Amino acid sequence: MEEIFEYYDLRIEKRKHECTWYGITCLDGRIITGIDLSSKKLQGLVSPKFSQLPQLKHLRLSDNELGGWIPTQYGILSNLETLILSEKFVSFLVRFMHLRQINVK
């Protein structure tokens, strides 16, 4: 799981189960369904490894210094309903037509 959150500060959190981390929402305390890391001063590119979370429903990464392309691997996240990113992202959103909410701030 650490490789998915490679830009997340794991110094303290790595001793705990991911479902107890700040900004992580889980089903039954073990299946990650939501990630909200908005306004956390994150920088760089978003890892395509988030696509390894098949039950992910909500991904909120707005108001950070993240940019680039939305990883194409996110297209396989059939449960993803909400994707909120910063305006620095560039991508064809056709892959994400199943989403209930796409928001670029």
Ranges of each domain in the chain: 10-104
**What does the pLDDT read at residue 92?**
44
* Other Cβ atoms within 10 Å of 91 Cβ, number: 16
More confident residue, 74 or 19: 19
Whether the pLDDT of residue 97 is over 80: the answer is: no
pTM: 0.73
Please check whether the domain covering 10-104 is classified as CATH 3.80.10.10: yes
pLDDT grade, residue 26 (50/70/90)?
A: very high
* Other Cβ atoms within 10 Å of 16 Cβ, number: 10
Asked if 72 and 96 count as a contact pair (C-beta separation under 8 A), the reply is no
